């Protein structure tokens, strides 16, 4: 069965080339991929309501018996309607289906079905329109928790559920799922964990909430154990490395500070001193430091300080950014600063012309260029430094460990090991940072420079749409620019129609960037320039759009969260976040930080039609709190640590779109997280190379997660 786990998804029944291509858009290519494609939420269909006693316009489950045979009528050539009457002990209701004439052969008079949908009142009579349904057998009732999957256009939830069930079939015997195990048996026994098969099947089709939590607990523990183990192994190997950093002396920083034009805040000064201490320490391992700071806290200035200390000691610095536009922004800010002090700089991008690249490579290898700012082009085999003293990565969450390791090796001098400074724009609660980034020393910038203006924040629902459109026009006509962030790339009506929360709340249809941009451009603001950008675009197209926005050639930019960190557009005055209830607080705070960077007054509007009390309470935090660390702590308390945890290769989940969170919310998660981290440390201590037979599965898992760059 292990071979079938890695078999192409087309080996499953009813999965042909078309369906397989749709699955590929979700990254699902093998049977194993599908088995580990977890639901992002669940509908609670066990809370059965009485059809005549339930408030309308709310999605619920109903147990109803068919009273009259379904009848189908043609309304037009392209429209049919099928209706019939149902009842429970509270009274009667009607059920209506549009363009689904086949349902007349599905429902039998006298049979009982569980319906799930939004109840409407039509002329005082309760009505369900195109509800989901399943035959109800009292002796073998269907599961109460129904999975809701991440989808793409062309794949609905019913199809995805059927595919997942068919994927489980070959691995299931006598009702028990047997999947290839990924944890050693001694750990499963010691921590009372489910088997891999029980956990994975329990996440897809939980029998109840208790079973769901057990499944999540197993996979959450495994995820954090493997990540922490990789971190521990990596740190031990670095400490054991014979290569030491270049000897450095702390240089007078006045040449730099006098050119910055502003004084460091107390937090910046403290971080700068910590960095200088690391870089000038005698007989010490190379610096590996994470610089975490709130939006606008001045991380770049601190990074410039670190770079200055290196170049003033005659060494070279590499600064890698995730996008060309962000790299260009850094170059625009830093190149004049360093060149005014006599240090040569260069900008190395994928789009840099071949002849220019050749010259830059030569300057790097001769030690003539002190500071090179670039993108992944810095990983080219020819991009070698003569004496690389410091590597800086901006937006640390965007880079996997393999890329950071490659950067550190881009030097001709193999006797010394460069220092590393990683910058993260995501404020991470200190307790989480100490656990998750245990391989790095931490510097927190928890103080904003004076003069940074507050972005007024409002929470509105759809009833404000017309006024909101008027406010957008007002901002554009006053010379400002507008961001509109949507949670989806393209609309998927099939997903939206099935997307209901487990507490009876109906989740509003997702605003999709591509579709909404077209609506704004063609119908609402035809006289304004409307652009869009999303993560599925290639890098060159994304950079082109952001450059146009930065140049004030686009009035309104509709986007996914791809813009939550990065380019500085001082002219942007309005941030609108659609379906704000779909985002974490820290993510909303990052998005809000995209505006208010210039002299103009800026605003953030969170749009949500959610009626859920907890959701509204969570979003209200954004109206009253502007401290990124306090917001991160709120997120940690309300949603658990999942948003701050690493995904494959080391990136933060907070920056993914709609990722299912294996971490159940609550303080118990932190205890389980600590257990996983402590377990990883103990294993790394007793078996540093993971060479013992009992840890073979862990060695394999660490190698896969870290893409082979940790030599476990």
In tens, the pLDDT along 181-209 reads 999 999 999 999 999 999 999 999 998 88
483 vs 565: CA distance, rounded Å: 13
pLDDT, residue 530, reads: 96
Structure tokens at 204: 């897809």
In the numeric block, which tokens belong to residue 26?
Answer: 């979700």
Please give the Cα distance from 489 to 482 (Å, whole number).
Answer: 18
Work out whether strand 59-66 and strand 48-49 pair parallel, antiparallel, or are unpaired. parallel
Q: Coil, strand or helix: which one is 16?
A: coil
Q: Say if domain 456-625 classifies as CATH 2.40.110.10.
A: no
What are the residue ranges in the chain where pLDDT is below 50? Answer: 398, 493-506, 648-661, 664-666, 708-712
Residues β-bridged to residue 574:
482, 603
Q: Which helix or strand (DSSP H or E) is residue 74 part of?
A: strand 71-76
CATH assignment, 46-142: 2.40.50.140
Instruction: Give CATH superfamily name and number for 244-445.
Output: P-loop containing nucleotide triphosphate hydrolases (3.40.50.300)
Question: Exposure pattern of 193-204 as b/e (b: 16+ CB <10 Å)?
Answer: bbbbbbbbbbbb
DSSP sequence for 401-419: HHHHHHHHT-BS--SB--E
What are the boundaries of each domain within the chain? 1-45+156-174, 46-142, 244-445, 456-625
pLDDT recorded at residue 161:
95
Give the other-Cβ count within 10 Å of 140's Cβ.
6
Residue range 59-84, pLDDT digits in tens: 899 999 999 999 999 999 899 999 99
Q: Provide Rg for the chain, Cα atoms.
A: 28
Q: Residues with Cβ < 8 Å from 26, sequence gap 6 or more?
A: 37, 150, 151, 152, 155
* Alpha-carbon distance values, 376 to 236, 281, 316, 425 (Å): 27, 30, 18, 19
pLDDT at residue number 107 = 97
pLDDT at residue 661 in the model: 47
Beta strand 603-607 with 132-135 is unpaired
**What would the DSSP string read from start to end of 306-319?**
HHHHHHTTT-EEEE
Q: What's residue 658's pLDDT? A: 26
- Contact predicate 166/12, CB 8 Å: yes
Q: How many CB atoms lie within 10 A of CB 440?
A: 21
Give me the pLDDT at residue 278, please. 93
Q: Would you state the pLDDT for residue 403?
A: 63
CA distance 541 to 545: 6
Residue 399 buriedness (CB in 10 A; 0-12 / 13-18 / 19+) = buried
What residues contact residue 21 under an 8 Å CB cut-off, 6+ apart? none
State the residue for tokens 């749709």. Answer: 22
Residue 342: phi and psi, rounded to 5, are 90, 15
Residue 194 has a pLDDT of 96
Rounded to the nearest 10 degrees, the angle between the axes of helix 613-624 and helix 628-639 is 170
Place of tokens 């489910």: 194
pLDDT of residue 132: 92
Round to whole Å and give the CA distance between 234 and 439: 8
Block residue for tokens 């840099």: 352
Domains 1-45+156-174 and 46-142 in one fold: no
Hey, what CATH topology would domain 1-45+156-174 get? DNA polymerase; domain 1 (1.10.150)
168: tokens are 């489980």
């Amino acid at each position: 069965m292990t071979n079938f786990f890695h078999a192409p998804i087309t080996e499953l029944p009813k999965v042909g080339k078309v369906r397989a291509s749709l699955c590929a858009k979700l990254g699902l290519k093998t049977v194993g991929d599908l088995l580990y494609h977890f639901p992002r939420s669940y509908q609670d269909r066990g809370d059965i309501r009485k059809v005549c006693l339930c408030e309308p316009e709310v999605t619920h489950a109903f147990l109803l018996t068919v009273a009259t045979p379904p009848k189908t009528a043609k309304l037009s050539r392209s429209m049919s309607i099928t209706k019939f009457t149902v009842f429970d002990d509270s009274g009667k209701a009607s059920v209506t289906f549009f363009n689904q004439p086949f349902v007349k052969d599905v429902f039998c008079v006298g049979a009982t079905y569980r319906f799930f949908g939004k109840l409407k009142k039509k002329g005082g009579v309760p009505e369900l329109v195109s509800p989901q349904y399943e035959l109800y057998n009292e002796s073998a009732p269907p599961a109460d928790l129904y999975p809701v999957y991440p989808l793409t256009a062309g794949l609905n939830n019913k199809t995805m559920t059927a595919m997942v069930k068919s994927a489980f079939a070959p691995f299931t015997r006598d009702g028990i799922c047997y999947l290839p195990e990924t944890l050693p048996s001694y750990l499963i026994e010691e921590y009372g964990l489910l088997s891999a098969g029980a956990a994975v099947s329990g996440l897809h089709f939980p029998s109840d909430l208790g079973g769901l939590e057990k499944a999540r607990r197993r996979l959450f523990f495994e995820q954090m154990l493997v990540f922490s183990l990789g971190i521990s192994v990596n740190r031990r190997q670095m400490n054991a490395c014979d290569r030491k950093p270049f000897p450095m002396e702390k240089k007078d920083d006045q040449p730099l500070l006098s050119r910055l034009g502003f004084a460091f805040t107390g937090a910046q000064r403290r971080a700068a001193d910590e960095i200088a201490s690391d870089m000038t320490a005698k007989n010490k391992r190379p610096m590996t430091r994470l610089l975490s700071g709130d939006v606008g806290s001045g991380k770049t200035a601190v990074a410039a300080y670190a770079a200055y200390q290196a170049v003033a000691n005659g060494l070279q610095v590499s600064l890698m950014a995730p996008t060309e536009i962000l790299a260009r922004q850094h170059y625009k800010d830093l190149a004049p600063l360093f060149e005014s002090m006599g240090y040569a700089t260069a900008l190395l991008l994928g789009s840099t012309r071949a002849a220019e690249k050749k010259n830059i490579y030569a300057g790097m290898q001769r030690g003539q260029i002190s500071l090179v700012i670039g993108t992944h082009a810095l990983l080219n085999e020819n991009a070698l430094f003569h004496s690389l003293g410091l590597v800086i990565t901006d937006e640390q969450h965007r880079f996997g460990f393999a890329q950071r390791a490659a950067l550190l090796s881009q030097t001709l001098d193999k006797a010394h090991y460069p220092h590393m400074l990683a910058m993260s724009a995501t404020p991470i609660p200190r307790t989480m940072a100490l656990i998750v980034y245990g391989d790095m020393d931490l510097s927190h910038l928890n103080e904003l420079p004076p003069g940074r203006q507050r972005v007024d924040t409002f929470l509105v629902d759809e009833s404000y749409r017309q006024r909101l459109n008027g406010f957008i026009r007002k901002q554009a006509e006053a010379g400002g620019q507008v961001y509109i962030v949507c949670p989806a790339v393209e609309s998927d009506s099939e997903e939206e129609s099935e997307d209901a929360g487990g507490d009876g709340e109906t989740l509003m249809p997702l605003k999709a960037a591509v579709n909404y941009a077209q609506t704004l451009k063609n119908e609402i603001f035809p006289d304004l320039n409307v652009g869009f950008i999303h993560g599925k675009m290639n890098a060159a197209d994304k950079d082109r759009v952001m450059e146009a926005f930065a140049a004030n050639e686009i009035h309104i930019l509709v986007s996914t969260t791809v813009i939550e960190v990065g380019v500085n557009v001082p002219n942007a005055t309005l941030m609108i976040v659609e379906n704000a209830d779909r985002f974490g607080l820290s993510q909303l705070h990052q998005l809000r930080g995209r505006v208010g960077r210039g002299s103009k007054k800026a605003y953030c509007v969170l749009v949500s039609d959610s009626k859920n009390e907890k959701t509204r309470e969570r979003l209200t935090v954004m109206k009253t709190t502007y401290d990124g660390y306090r917001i991160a702590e709120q997120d940690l308390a309300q949603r658990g640590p999942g948003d701050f945890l690493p995904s494959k290769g080391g990136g933060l989940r907070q920056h993914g779109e709609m990722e299912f969170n294996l971490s159940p919310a609550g303080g118990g998660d932190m205890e389980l997280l600590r257990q996983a981290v402590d377990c990883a440390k103990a294993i790394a201590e007793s078996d540093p190379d993971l060479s013992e037979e009992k840890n073979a599965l862990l060695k394999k898992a660490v190698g896969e997660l870290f893409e082979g760059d940790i030599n476990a």
